[in-house]
Amino acid sequence: MVMGSICALFDGEQLSIELDEKETFIVEPEDEIREEPWGFALGYKYAQDLSVYRYARYMGKNLIVCFGPWNENSFDLFNRTWIGIQENQLAAIEVFQHEEGSFIVGVVPVDMSPDRTGIIQPLEDKLSISMNAIYETRSKYMLLKMMNPDLYLKYERYLLEGVNQDD
């Protein structure tokens, strides 16, 4: 799904995303992997599997939403979505769940964030991401020219189906 802008609203319990000021989706927490029209919702264990991001890119998805616990360690963010987003030029919304209160953070390619960290902090409970900047950056990267989606998807499709490739 091609989208120009993403606006995420989080009230501490429920996440809603609005695409291009037209469509709004309520995103329920996920422990595994769930494909949605806008992208994929992931549990934190699946977010550590970098093949998920390549699969998402090949499937034409642009947004990953990751749900998982916050254990007071900021490196969790980098072990979850950050690397996959950088490598595949996607966007992510991290929903960190904590007994003292949940919060969201945006993850984008490094050159899309003002401080070049790849992290976008929400203003209060609202997070805005411009996908147009990501599409522009993608057009300059060699990755697109070197991708072989047919070969990759021949094997990677098993990831979301939960099928053992050896069967």
Count the neighbouring beta carbons within 10 Å of the beta carbon of residue 166.
5
Q: Any idea where the domains of the chain sit in the sequence?
A: 5-161
Q: What is the pLDDT of residue 97?
A: 84
Query: pLDDT averaged over consecutive 10-residue blocks of the chain (167 residues)?
Result: 89 92 94 93 91 87 92 76 92 89 90 88 88 82 68 64 46
Burial of 122 (0-12, 13-18, 19+ CB in 10 A): middle
Q: What is the pLDDT of residue 143?
A: 64
Q: What is the pLDDT of residue 112?
A: 85
| Backbone conformation region of residue 91, classed left if phi is above 0, alpha if psi is from -120 to 50, else beta | beta
Distance between CA 72 and CA 98 in Å, rounded? 9
pLDDT at 167: 43
